[in-house]
Amino acid sequence: MAAMRDVVFVDGVRTPFGRAGDKGMYAGTRADDLAVKALQGLLARNEGLPLDRIDDVGIAATTQQGDQGLTLGRTVSILSGIPVTVPGFALDRMCAGALTVASFMGAAIGSGQYDIAVAGGVEHMGRHPLGLDADPNPRFVAEKLVSPDALNMGLTAERLHDRFPALTKERADRFGMLSQHKVQAAYDRGDIQPDLIPVATRSAAGWGLATEDEGRRPQTTMEGLAGLKTPFRPHGRVTAGTSSPLTDGATMSLMAGADTARELGLTAKMRLVGFAFAGVEPEVMGLGPVPATEKALKRAGLSITDIGLFELNEAFAVQVLSFTDHFGISDEDPRVNPWGGAIAVGHPLAASGVRLMIQLARQFEQRPDVRYGVTAMCVGLGQGGTAIWENPHFDGKKGK
């Protein structure tokens, strides 16, 4: 058997994320057009890439119907101008869709089956709300396999507060507030904008151009968060201020073998060290990243102390805090989501995994003292996914 090849993340881009719903900036935009715009932006940034060398295009979506169906990887590839000789597919692992596509493409590249692949995700939650037309098998409830409300992500977050009393509402509120502040600070520094692909929008008011994430609230205060309603249950602890909002958006990334990248003059922004997925009780799905990260670290021969940056998807503040508490990481550790996260920018479900990768790659450029970083997220119905990445800019003299 041939030795495994090094796999690299060459580049990644995304559309600005918009609020889902009739008042959101993408209310009049098709889901597949969001994905096309992101993929065209990725290809335009990598002009030296021979399109016929792409081995596959994988695009994740959670609700695969209407303009978000019809095997997105294939249809979006054709619409983006990639030769029809290049195949494509769609995948669903709910929130970890794009992370799964990137991981599996990495495995295919590492084993020598592929040289170059596109991995992305799209979710138009305004047109395709989570669970729309879903028909869960009655055995889940009849045989008491899963609680009837396990599909309500907000209630799974409330259960984390119940299970871990140390995860207080005040801690979650502070985490949510800081996410908003950190995202705005990153915008002010110009850290996020370089990887955003502008999207033309249309509404009753006419044409517009989406250039920034729509849902940011940098003015958020602890006092304001304390007064928010708890929509998932009376006297609960999860609020809109500590949850990722319903969001529309698309992400795309380019993965390659390190040798192929060198051959084509493509710059590697990260090296894929390894990945893992794991399952937990659906009722506490937010715990999923814990066993996934433990599994990924063990396989890579690393420990949590080797990780210098964490990009954790903020489905809910309490979910991230359950991860950091488990690993003994403080609430305001500068390694965790230094540019904020999904509570501020939004979480278009299947697209979010690549957003984490994009931000980690940018941070690696600025942090030659950091060798390893993690992208991790929880997944509905009780799963977690984690990928470990190595910084090609690492300077051993500046860090461990």
Model pLDDT, residue 172: 98
- The closest of 371, 219, 398 to 302, measured between CA atoms, is 371
3-state secondary structure 84-102: CCCCEEEECECECHHHHHH
pLDDT in tens, the chain (400 residues): 457 899 999 999 999 999 999 999 999 999 999 999 999 999 999 998 999 999 999 999 999 999 999 999 999 999 999 999 999 999 999 999 999 999 999 999 999 999 999 999 999 999 999 888 888 899 988 998 888 888 889 999 999 999 999 999 999 999 999 999 999 999 999 999 999 999 999 988 889 999 999 989 999 999 999 999 999 999 999 999 999 999 999 999 999 999 999 999 999 999 999 999 999 999 999 999 999 999 999 999 999 999 999 999 999 999 999 999 999 999 999 999 999 999 999 999 999 999 999 999 999 999 999 999 999 999 999 999 999 999 999 998 776 5
Write down the CATH number for the domain with range 143-190+273-389: 3.40.47.10
Domain ranges in the chain? Answer: 143-190+273-389
Q: Extract the tokens encoding 84.
A: 């029809």
At 1 the pLDDT is 47
What is the length of the chain? 400
Say what the pLDDT of residue 399 is. Answer: 66
Which are the catalytic amino acids?
Answer: 95, 347, 378
Q: What is the CA radius of gyration of the chain?
A: 20
Contact 189, 9 (CB under 8 A): no
pLDDT of residue 302: 98
Rounded to whole angstroms, the Cα distance separating 170 from 175 reads 9
Q: Which amino acid is at 137?
A: N
